[in-house]
């Protein structure tokens, strides 16, 4: 990180993707590209001179963009790494892995902490909070997400998410999953006609989503949290036009994270890669390790952390364990407890992960489980911890429930506003001491 070498591979589209209002320049430049080609055609001296001048001007714009700070710098916010400047914002939080333990700023999470004789130190206890940057570009479904007191507002959603983050942290939450393509805003959905994605179908990033995401990741950095940033979700991934668009999207998202200088962000390539609704083979179990390695390699020597790169994994559906190809490639193993009602099966899933031939001693954590029973002596949360695996709370609004219930159903009340939420955060604080 800080070598400046990352600018060698910047294209004009790369720069316009991360700079404020870059989409405006992209449109103008697209119109002029055909004209620029005519500079070399004989018999058009005046036109050639004009085109050459246009080309020089556009080249100057590109150079200025490459040195420009990210959105928010003008307002006094941290600018992150400016493309090609060889520098970076001084971030407050760095996540790393030592053996099976997660460390934050060089110390294991929950240092020295145990609960009922079980080791808590080094675990990444988390919640699935994927809708923090949610929006819906489908006019036929957008009205479904209106608030009890007004219309749907993506800025309000993110603002209220950020306002709740200190409360979560005070209860001991050190991580959460947020996804660039969200998750079902109904909790579970057979069909997903809404359009919620930080990517265009060709893989380009959307500036409005990035601006909201930056607010959340900056706050996480301030609070000492290590969020898991998911790239793809099966309900939206089919919108990509082809496999190359998926690759382009992964590259663009990775470059954006690097450009901000984040040292606290973990990467989840896809939520439940083994779900049949994924369209593109590179996101499916047989080949998803290619994207894991791609993000690892693309970020190598560009992150100011012990690993020197982003830490990357992918999750599987409830009850499934990672394939050998993922065990060999991933920096940590992500599994889900959906559909797993018996705590003993949770323990068995962790044991099966450690028995994989290519398991290398990485941390194991659940980052999605919709089973609760937090007042009982045994539950899925406790079962995971008993096998030294992190656990992630997934809660949605169930039939007959209201606005205060659930963290995935949109619109979301991001406060600890329901009995289930209070049950989870209560047990979390008891386990961690609010560390």
- Domain-embedded: residue 89: no
Q: Do 147 and 49 fall into the same domain?
A: no
Residue 37 placed within a domain: yes
Q: How confident is the model at residue 277 (pLDDT cuts 50, 70, 90)?
A: very high
Three-point CA angle 386, 374, 130, nearest 5°: 90
Average of per-residue pLDDT across 296-313: 98
Compute φ and ψ for 424, nearest 5 degrees: -65, -55
How high is the pLDDT of residue 53? 46
Which residues are registered as beta bridge partners of 108?
A: 103
| Average confidence (pLDDT) over 258-285 | 98
For residue 191, pLDDT over 60 is answered with yes
At residue 190, the pLDDT reads 86
Single out the residue in 21, 39, 73 at which a domain terminates.
Answer: 73
Closest CA to 182 of 137, 130, 128, 127: 130
For residue 283, pLDDT over 50 is answered with: yes
Over residues 111-118, the mean pLDDT reads 98
The answer to whether residue 149 sits within a structural domain is yes
Q: Is residue 79 part of a domain?
A: no
Asked whether residue 80 is assigned to any structural domain, the reply reads no
Residue 170 domain flag:
yes
Verify that 67 and 140 share a domain, yes or no: no
Instruction: Examine the pLDDT at 345 and tell me if it is beyond 60.
Output: yes
Answer yes or no: is pLDDT of 50 > 50: no
Q: Is the link from the previous residue into 411 a cis peptide, with omega within 30 of 0? A: yes
Same domain, 51 and 122: no
**Rounded mean pLDDT of 277-305?**
98
Instruction: Label residue 256 exposed, middle or buried (CB < 10 Å: 0-12, 13-18, 19+).
Output: buried
Q: Are residues 155 and 303 in the same domain?
A: yes
Tokens of 265: 């962000």
Q: How confident is the model at residue 392 (pLDDT cuts 50, 70, 90)?
A: very high
In a shared domain, residues 59 and 160: no
pLDDT in tens, 121-170: 999 999 999 999 999 999 999 999 999 999 999 999 999 999 999 999 99
The tokens of 222 are what?
């301030």
Share above pLDDT 90 across residues of the chain, in percent, rounded to a whole number: 79
**86 occurs within a structural domain:** no
Total domain count for the chain?
2
Is residue 46 located within the same domain as residue 185? no
CA–CA–CA angle 241, 246, 249 (5° rounding): 115
| CA triple 173-175-176, angle to 5 deg | 105
Range in 24-28, 78-82, 283-287 the model is least confident about = 78-82
With a CB cutoff of 8 Å and minimum separation 6, the contacts of 333 are: 313, 321, 322, 326, 327, 353, 359, 362, 363, 364, 365
Q: Of 77-81, 159-163, 332-336, 392-396, which range is least confident?
A: 77-81
Predicted local distance difference test score (pLDDT) of residue 356? 98
Neighbours of 45 (CB within 10 A): 8
Q: What is the pLDDT of residues 163-190, one digit of tens each?
A: 999 999 999 999 999 999 999 999 998 8
Residue 186's CATH number: 3.20.20.80
- Percent of the chain exceeding pLDDT 70 equals 80
DSSP β-bridge partners for residue 103:
96, 108
Quick: pLDDT tens for 3-48. Answer: 433 333 444 444 444 444 343 344 334 334 433 333 344 444 444 4
Q: Residue 81: inside a domain, yes or no?
A: no
| Whole-prediction pTM | 0.82
At residue 86, the pLDDT reads 39
Domain match, 49 and 165 both: no
Mean pLDDT in the chain? Answer: 86
Task: Report the pLDDT value the prediction gives residue 89, as an integer from 0 to 100.
Answer: 78
Model confidence over 348-386: pLDDT tens digits? 999 999 999 999 999 999 999 999 999 999 999 999 999
Higher pLDDT: 3 or 260? It is 260
Q: pLDDT category, 77, cuts 50, 70, 90? A: very low
Distances (CA, A) of 422 to 134, 168, 359, 374: 24, 11, 35, 9
Does residue 140 share a domain with residue 56?
A: no
Q: Locate 166 and state its tokens.
A: 């200190």
Residues 144, 18 share a domain = no
Rounded Cα distance between 350 and 354, Å, is 6
52 and 178 share a domain?
Answer: no
Residue 84 has pLDDT above 60, yes or no: no
Please state the separation of Cα 265 from the chain's center in Å: 8
Looking at residue 130, what is its pLDDT? 98
The residue ranking higher by pLDDT, 425 or 32, is 425
Residue 2 has pLDDT above 50, yes or no: no
User: Do 183 and 271 lie in a common domain?
Assistant: yes
Do 324 and 183 share a domain, yes or no? yes
Please give the pLDDT value at position 416: 98
**Worst-scoring range by mean pLDDT, 74-88, 220-234, 299-313, 405-419?**
74-88
- The mean per-residue pLDDT over the stretch 65-82 comes to 36
Q: What is the CA radius of gyration of the chain?
A: 22
Range of the domain at 247: 95-432
pLDDT, position 88:
55
């Amino acid at each position: 990180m800080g070598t400046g070498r990352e600018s060698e591979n910047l294209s004009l589209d790369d720069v316009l993707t991360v700079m404020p209002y870059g989409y405006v320049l992209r449109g103008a430049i697209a119109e002029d590209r055909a004209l620029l080609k005519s500079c070399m055609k004989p018999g058009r001296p005046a036109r050639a001179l004009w085109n050459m001048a246009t080309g020089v001007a556009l080249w100057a714009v590109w150079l200025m963009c490459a040195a420009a700070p990210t959105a928010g710098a003008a307002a006094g916010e941290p600018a992150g790494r400016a493309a090609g400047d060889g520098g970076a914002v001084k971030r407050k939080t760095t996540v790393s892995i030592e053996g099976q333990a997660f460390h934050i700023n060089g110390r294991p999470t929950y240092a020295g902490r145990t609960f009922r004789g079980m080791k808590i130190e080094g675990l990444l206890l988390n919640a699935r909070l994927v809708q923090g940057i949610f929006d819906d570009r489908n006019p036929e479904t957008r009205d479904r997400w209106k608030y009890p007191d007004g219309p749907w507002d993506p800025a309000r959603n993110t603002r209220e998410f950020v306002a709740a983050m200190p409360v979560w942290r005070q209860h001991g939450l050190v991580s959460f999953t947020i996804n660039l393509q969200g998750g079902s805003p109904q909790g579970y959905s057979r069909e997903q006609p809404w359009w919620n994605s930080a990517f265009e179908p060709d893989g380009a990033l959307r500036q409005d989503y990035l601006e909201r995401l930056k607010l959340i990741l900056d706050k996480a950095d301030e609070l000492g949290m290590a969020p898991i940033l998911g790239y793809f979700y099966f309900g939206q991934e089919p919108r990509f036009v082809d496999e190359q668009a998926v690759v382009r999207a992964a590259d663009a998202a990775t470059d954006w994270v690097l450009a901000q200088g984040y040292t606290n962000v973990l990467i989840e390539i896809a939520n439940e890669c083994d779900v049949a609704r994924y369209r593109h083979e590179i996101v499916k179990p047989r080949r998803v390790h290619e994207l894991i390695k791609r993000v690892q390699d693309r970020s190598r020597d560009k992150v100011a952390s012990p690993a020197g790169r982003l830490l990357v994994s992918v999750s599987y559906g409830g009850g499934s364990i990672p394939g050998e190809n993922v065990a060999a490639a991933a920096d940590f193993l992500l599994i889900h407890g959906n559909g797993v009602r018996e705590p003993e099966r949770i323990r068995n899933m962790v044991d099966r992960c450690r028995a994989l031939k290519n398991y290398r001693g990485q941390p194991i954590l659940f980052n999605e489980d919709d089973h609760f029973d937090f007042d009982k002596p045994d539950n899925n949360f406790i079962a995971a911890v008993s096998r030294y695996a992190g656990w992630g709370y997934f809660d949605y609004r169930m039939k007959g429930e209201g606005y205060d219930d659930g963290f995935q159903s949109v619109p979301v009340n991001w406060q600890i506003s329901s009995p289930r939420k209070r049950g989870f955060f209560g047990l979390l604080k008891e386990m961690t001491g609010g560390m």
